[in-house]
Amino acid sequence: MTTAATASSAPAAPISPSAPVPVIEIRGLHKAYGHLEVLKGVDVKALPGQVISLIGSSGSGKSTLLRCSNLLEDSQRGEILFEGEAVHWRGDGLGRHPADRAQVARIRTNLSMVFQNFNLWSHMTVLQNVMEAPLTVLKQDRATVEARARALLDKVGIGDKCDVYPAQMSGGQQQRAAIARALCMEPRALLFDEPTSALDPELEQEVVRVIKALADEGRTMLIVTHDMRLAADVSDHVIFLHQGLIEEEGAPATLFGAPKSTRLQQFLSAGHSA
């Protein structure tokens, strides 16, 4: 039984003083559920202001990778770094878990997640939903948080819905409220897990416009998406995952315009074109 808490299994590579430190960096990540290996050694790096889209068929490991990066899922091997700081681990293999709860909490507050199904609290108004985490987790001043929350709801186009409950809103409005909630934590990066897949095409475009505006602002984002047009329009870098490995990656114009991998060519020709 392993009892010692360890940091990374290998020291972090030195970073040039002039090079930006990645907000999120994943090195050789492996993730399994029992005997099912979902991620088989994946490397991802998101620099400040960079938008990275993760694409691939269902079961390719996209959402699992996103959840591992936010420490919502434990991984069995590999390293996760936030702004150059490696996550500390205890144990090995399926018994590996983060060793420092305070570190996990700090990282999570800086990597805000937007889920496919909104995950808004039904008993709270939209304004209360957006304010809750900064008040309870960050212990910030209520008046300051409320002013920021109202401004963010205006920003995503639903400032008139502050006193409405989630059940009284469309799916597109709920997802925009979820984005405002994520932004209210003032995170270093936003993580989107299929943000438009639960929406019909008209409502989907409401959310896409907000995500594009955030990309234009220079927000650091990791986006798991089935929407190739969104990936092509907002991304600096696109990663195509297949069976738990990176099959191909590169600039959107290259990946969608001249894919090299036979598997990516098949994926795009099967109705997933940008």
**In the predicted model, what is the mean pLDDT of residues 126-149?**
97
* pLDDT beyond 70 at 11: no
What was the pLDDT predicted at 241?
Answer: 98
Per DSSP, 270 falls in state I
Averaged confidence pLDDT in the chain = 92
pLDDT surpassing 60 at residue 174: yes
Local confidence band at 270 (pLDDT 50, 70, 90 cut-offs): confident
Q: Is 50 exceeded by the pLDDT of residue 3?
A: no
Which domains are delineated in the chain?
21-272 (3.40.50.300)
Q: Is the pLDDT of residue 271 over 80?
A: no
- Residues 58-107 have pLDDT tens digits of 999 999 999 999 999 999 999 999 999 999 999 999 999 999 999 999 99
Q: What digits encode the pLDDT tens for the residues 178-187? A: 999 999 999 9
Q: What is the pLDDT of residue 12?
A: 53
pLDDT band of 4, cuts 50, 70, 90: very low
Question: Among residues 78, 89, 74, 85, which one has the least CA distance to residue 32?
Answer: 74
| Span 201-223, pLDDT tens digits | 889 999 999 999 999 999 999 99
Range from 14-23, 159-168, 218-227, 261-270 carrying the lowest mean pLDDT: 14-23
Taking the C-alpha atoms of 216, 222, 224 and 225 in order, what is their torsion angle to the nearest 10 degrees? Answer: 10
User: How many secondary structure helices (H) and strands (E) does the chain include?
Assistant: 9, 13
Per-residue pLDDT at 273:
62
Q: Output the pLDDT for position 125.
A: 98
Answer left, alpha or beta for residue 51, where phi above 0 means left and psi between -120 and 50 means alpha. Answer: beta
Going by pLDDT thresholds of 50, 70 and 90, the confidence category of residue 141 is very high
On the question of pLDDT at 109 being above 60, the answer is: yes
Task: Give the chain's length.
Answer: 274
Provide long-range contacts, Cβ within 8 A and 24+ apart, for 154-161: 155/180, 155/183, 156/180, 156/210, 157/206, 157/210, 158/126, 161/126
Residues 212-236, mean pLDDT to the nearest whole number: 96
